[in-house]
Amino acid sequence: MLVNILTIFPEYFSSVFNVSILKRAQDKNKVQIKIIDIRDFAKDKHKRVDDRPFGGGPGMVMKIEPIDLALNYLGLKKGQDKSRIILTSAKGQLWTQKKAQKISEKEQLTIICGHYEGVDERVAENLVDEEVRIGDYVITGGESAATVIVDSIVRLIPGVLGNEESSEQESHSTIGYLAAPTYTRPREYKTWKVPEVLLKGDHKEIESFKKRV
């Protein structure tokens, strides 16, 4: 999978994708992550990507033109079968495991990181497949949301995780499913004990325990 991230703060991603599973996924050529600086597509000499909102109001709004030019440069438009364009937005649909699973089957994902007071609404109306939010709260910019989205998708790509069953038995792998609690050594710590059923080696009882909790 190819992942494009359009941002005005490319330095944000200088290390976040270079550790743990995300790094290994790139080393295995399971995913390629490209960071695109939206400012490179601003036409004025100051490389401005924002302006004051029409009709007044606080803050600044990200402009449509640099975003549109960046998507054109990448040869992307909404509605393509093998790719998906996402805009991070506080008013978008909630990001879910189901969405992550569907997009993990695509060949290409593009995330536009929103910032300031928002993005010109014409971007959402004309340039992207969907707007998404990672929770019911406001964060400074879409970069951290993009990181969450990419992480949740990449780990679902076949061959990324060491154990192919890992993603199938996780919390939220099906609607309403939460993984059972897990324990490891020592068996007892400060009088806190591991449930006895997990120590007996009876796989049928262990499976029943995991479904019950």
Q: What is the pLDDT of residues 17-49, one digit of tens each?
A: 999 999 999 999 999 999 999 999 999 889 999
pLDDT number for residue 16: 93
Q: What is the pLDDT of residue 87?
A: 98
Average pLDDT score over residue span 75-93? 97
Give me the mean pLDDT over the 98-126 stretch. 96
Provide the pLDDT for residue 117.
Answer: 86
Average pLDDT over residues 51-68: 94
For residue 167, pLDDT over 90 is answered with no
- Give the chain's end-to-end CA distance (angstroms, integer): 36
Instruction: Report which of 90, 169, 101, 98 is spatially closest to residue 131, judged by C-alpha positions.
Output: 90
Percent of the chain with pLDDT over 90: 80
CA distances from 28 to 11, 31, 67, 157 (A): 24, 8, 30, 11
pTM metric for this prediction: 0.86
Q: Are 106 and 47 in contact (CB under 8 A)?
A: no
Confidence tier at 212 by pLDDT (50, 70, 90): confident
Confidence band (pLDDT; 50, 70, 90) for 165? very low
Q: Are 36 and 49 in contact (CB under 8 A)?
A: no
Complete domains list, the chain, with CATH: 2-154 (3.40.1280.10), 180-213 (1.10.1270.20)
Interval 117-146: pLDDT, tens: 899 999 999 999 999 999 999 999 999 999
Average pLDDT of the chain? 92
Please tell me the predicted confidence (pLDDT) of residue 210.
85
